[in-house]
Structure 1
Amino acid sequence: MTSLELSQDAYVVAFFLFCISFILFVYAMPGKKMKTHDRARHERRWGRISFTVTAIGFGSQLVYFISRWIGAGHIPVSNMYEFMSFLAMMIIGAFVVMYLIYRSAVLGAFAVPLAVIIMAYASVFPSEVQPLIPQLDSVWLKIHVTLAALGYAFFAVAFVAALLYLLRTVRWDSGSDRRSQRWLEFTMGCIIVVIGFIAVVFSFRAADYEVIVNQKVETVENGQINSKIESVTYTMPPLIAPYNSEESSLEAVPSFIGMKLPLMEAPGWMKGVQAGRKLNTVIWSLLAGLVLYAAIRLILRKPIAKAISPLVQGLDPDLVDEISYRSIAIGFPVFTLGALVFAMIWAQIAWSRFWGWDPKEVWALITWLYYSAYLHLRLSRSWHGAKSSWLAVIGLLIVMFTLVGVNLVISGLHSYSGV
């Protein structure tokens, strides 16, 4: 067995171990009808078992990471598959740290599935080992990316704890704050959209769906307009074709459930050969997520947040509020070093400038400013409880756009990580 084969097997093992540990963590959550003594004993016993399975899964992630590093010849964080897999490992690592401090089994019931979702999302991208481009071939890659991902991981744990606080404290009886109910349900809907996107991608991949659409690309060189044909491969039905697509390739696109595709072309202001495919992915994500959300609502016959709320009523809200704050307090200096300080040093070495207003640099700064404001409001203005929790929830949305949106939607020096 080669190192790369071992890494792939270890990745799959870790994925299934986390699925098992998620079920065990849910079982570890004590029921409301249990006596206080029985509740504590039940949570402590099954929490230890769940944590042990999670720790074994984390060890399997480490095997994946080290064996892929050996097989690839460089640290495996150079594309979206590798980075998102590494981020999932860091989230589990951050959860392990916070669990050892607070011993909260309920935190595992939400943190572990978040890592599972990210591992599944990573699998959407090509997993083949790719050679490092010259800008990435540096020791600063290890320092910058490792610390930045660890900072993101603690922000993700803070999000989980903040979401638990909101699920525990937002009331659903008549006369309660409807605005909080709507925003909490919107948050759950966003999570469902991601799950729906992963499901639809793997569905079309299992069906070996693939369509190639040709796009006419015009470039100006020395005052002359040159035209060439670029091929764009769609792995989902092309609702949106690339701008200025070649007619013959559009006519070859098969219909989907009786609907002639594509429905329209991407707008001309969307730059890049892959712009139409990326817009198509966004639309499929929303459609799949909305269908899945509607199906879950139909089964539950109530808002998802309202259905989950009774499961966390035995939780101490002050405890999860403290976990959320501590996670950000740990993650912020780590993120500052990795995503800003060491990133600027690397930028000076690679591109001969500390700062260049690249989209990824800008959004990393926005993320840093946001969590700076969080800590300021928490410490100086005493924003505890619901206000602090909503800030932590919104913070993860900013983090995910910095990680995914910038790489896959906005063109820049960091676009190689979207390959």
Structure 2
Amino acid sequence: MNLVDFSGDAFLVAFFLYCFGFLFYVIAIAGKKWGNREPEEHVRRWSKIAFVVSSAGLAAHLTFFFTRWAGSGQIPTSNMYEFMTFLAMAIMIAYTIVYAMYRKPLLGVFALPLTIIIVAYASVFPSEVQPLIPALESIWLKVHVTTAALGEAFFAVGFAAGLMYLLRVVNFTEKTKSARRQQFWVEFTLGTILVIVGFIIVVFSFRAAGYEATFTQENVTIDSKGQQQTRVETVNYYMPPIVKPYNSQVESYESFLGMDKPLFEAPSWMNGVNAGRKFNTVIWSILSGLVLYGLLRLISRKPLGAVIHPALEGIDPDDLDEISYRAIVIGFPVFTLGALIFAMIWAEKAWGRFWGWDPKEVWALITWLYYSAYLHFRLSRGWQGLRSAWLAVIGFVIVLFTLIGVNLVIAGLHSYSGT
């Protein structure tokens, strides 16, 4: 067995240890009401077990990272699979640091699922080692990507604590207009998370079923001399095509639930790499997320926020607010170094300019400006508590769009990340 194969086994071990760590955190928090021991002793005992198991998962994850690096000869952050696995590992590192500072086991109930979801999301992409394109063969790949991801990992912990704060303080029994608005946006946030979970479920489901449809797409471009160039490309779908590529013809199609042809064609302005297929994936993700949310609502017979809220009773919301703020304070300078300063140095060396308005560059700047505004409002305007929590949650949604939406949907110099 070579090191790359061994790293894959270590990655699988890390995933299962994270799952067990999450379950032990749930037992620590939810089980204190029915445990035989005193509640404080129960929480302390199971929190220790959960932390040890999740730390073992982090150790396995680090093993995956370094053995894949040694086996491939290049740092494993060069494509979507490798970057998302590194981000998940960075979130666990950030969580471990924050947990060591505050010793709040409830944070693990929210941080571990986020890590698990990102690990599962990474597994959707091809895991084969891909050779680096020339622009990536630089020391700045290591410092830019790793520091940017670590900064985003602390933002993720801030998001987890901020979401916990909202679930703790939003009253799901009130019927006032303001309360209903708060309840709606909390549910919307939980639903957004379920869309990502739904995406993972449908990808693996159709992959297990071996589904595939093929289209031939005609692309017309104008070269530098003003001459029209036409090329025909094959586009493979691995989910039933609700939307087909623009200006394409069906080559092969497997019927699904009576749907024997795509419902409509992708618009012409969607000109990213495999834009039609990715748009189709977005539609499937939203549909599956809505179905998953509907099933959970049917089972619980109440809003998901109202189901989670009782588990947070007894938790001091000021502690959650402090954890969220501190995590973002730690992550902000790290993100500034990685996503802006190191990125601009690398861009100058790779492309001969510090800034080029590439979509990924623009959204990295938007993310940085957003968290700059967060810190400004927090420190200068006294925006704490509910306002601060909402800003932390919205900020990480922007981070996710920068990582997922920009990489996979919008064409640009960073499109190689979405292959």
User: TM-score under structure 1 normalisation?
Assistant: 0.97
Tell me, in whole angstroms, the C-alpha distance in 1 between the residues paired with 2:119 and 2:382. 36
Q: Counterpart of 2:215 in structure 1: which amino acid?
A: V
Aligned to 2:49: 49
Aligned to 2:366: 366
Task: Sort the Cα spacing of 1:32 and 1:73 in 2 relative to 1 into closer, same or farther, 3 A.
Answer: closer
Aligned to 1:230: 233
- The CA deviation at 1:168 is 0.7
Tell me, in whole angstroms, the C-alpha distance in 1 between the residues paired with 2:226 and 2:185. 53
**Contact (CA 8 Å) 1:219, 1:225: kept in 2 or not?**
yes
Tell me, in whole angstroms, the C-alpha distance in 2 between the residues paired with 1:413 and 1:156. 25
Aligned to 2:316: 316
Given the alignment of the two structures, is residue 187 of structure 1 paired with residue 176 of structure 2, yes or no?
Answer: no
Aligned to 1:40: 40
Aligned to 1:244: 247
Q: Secondary structure at the match of 1:218?
A: strand
Tell me, in whole angstroms, the C-alpha distance in 2 between the residues paired with 1:24 and 1:273. 42
Tell me, in whole angstroms, the C-alpha distance in 2 between the residues paired with 1:143 and 1:266. 38
Structure 1 runs not aligned, ≥5 long: none
Q: Counterpart of 2:81 in structure 1: which amino acid?
A: Y
Task: Sort the Cα spacing of 1:382 and 1:273 in 2 relative to 1 into closer, same or farther, 3 A.
Answer: closer
**Contact (CA 8 Å) 1:30, 1:314: kept in 2 or not?**
no
Aligned to 1:178: 180
- The CA deviation at 1:220 is 2.2
Tell me, in whole angstroms, the C-alpha distance in 2 between the residues paired with 1:119 and 1:273. 24
Q: How does 1:20-419 map to 2 (within 5 A)?
A: 20-29=20-29, 33=33, 38-176=38-176, 177-221=179-223, 222-246=225-249, 249=251, 252-272=252-272, 274-419=274-419
Q: Counterpart of 2:269 in structure 1: which amino acid?
A: W
Tell me, in whole angstroms, the C-alpha distance in 1 between the residues paired with 2:254 and 2:238. 13
Tell me, in whole angstroms, the C-alpha distance in 1 between the residues paired with 2:342 and 2:39. 46
**Contact (CA 8 Å) 2:172, 2:305: kept in 1 or not?**
no
Q: Counterpart of 2:237 in structure 1: which amino acid?
A: Y
- Out of 377-386 and 212-221, give the one that drifted further: 212-221
- The CA deviation at 1:243 is 0.6
Q: Secondary structure at the match of 1:88?
A: helix
Instruction: Report Cα offsets for 1:151-194 as digits up to 9, x if no partner.
Output: 00000000000011111111122345111011101111111111
- The CA deviation at 1:273 is 5.0
- The CA deviation at 1:131 is 0.3
Tell me, in whole angstroms, the C-alpha distance in 1 between the residues paired with 2:380 and 2:394. 20
Q: Counterpart of 1:3 in structure 2: which amino acid?
A: L
**Contact (CA 8 Å) 2:212, 2:253: kept in 1 or not?**
no
- The CA deviation at 1:45 is 1.6
Tell me, in whole angstroms, the C-alpha distance in 2 between the residues paired with 1:272 and 1:337. 29
Q: Secondary structure at the match of 2:131?
A: coil
Q: Counterpart of 1:261 in structure 2: which amino acid?
A: K
**Contact (CA 8 Å) 1:78, 1:136: kept in 2 or not?**
yes
Tell me, in whole angstroms, the C-alpha distance in 1 between the residues paired with 2:136 and 2:372. 29
Q: Secondary structure at the match of 1:174?
A: coil
Task: Sort the Cα spacing of 1:30 and 1:283 in 2 relative to 1 into closer, same or farther, 3 A.
Answer: closer
- The CA deviation at 1:225 is 1.9
- The CA deviation at 1:30 is 5.5
Task: Sort the Cα spacing of 1:406 and 1:272 in 2 relative to 1 into closer, same or farther, 3 A.
Answer: closer
How big is the alpha-carbon RMSD for the aligned residues of Structure 1 and Structure 2?
A: 1.4
- Out of 39-48 and 151-160, give the one that drifted further: 39-48
Aligned residues with identical type, % of pairs: 61
- The CA deviation at 1:254 is 2.4
**Contact (CA 8 Å) 2:163, 2:393: kept in 1 or not?**
yes
Tell me, in whole angstroms, the C-alpha distance in 2 between the residues paired with 1:213 and 1:261. 12
Tell me, in whole angstroms, the C-alpha distance in 2 between the residues paired with 1:208 and 1:24. 35
Q: Secondary structure at the match of 1:29?
A: helix
Instruction: Report Cα offsets for 1:304-350 as digits up to 9, x if no partner.
Output: 11101111112111111100000000000000001101111111111
**Contact (CA 8 Å) 1:253, 1:262: kept in 2 or not?**
no
Structure 2 runs not aligned, ≥5 long: none
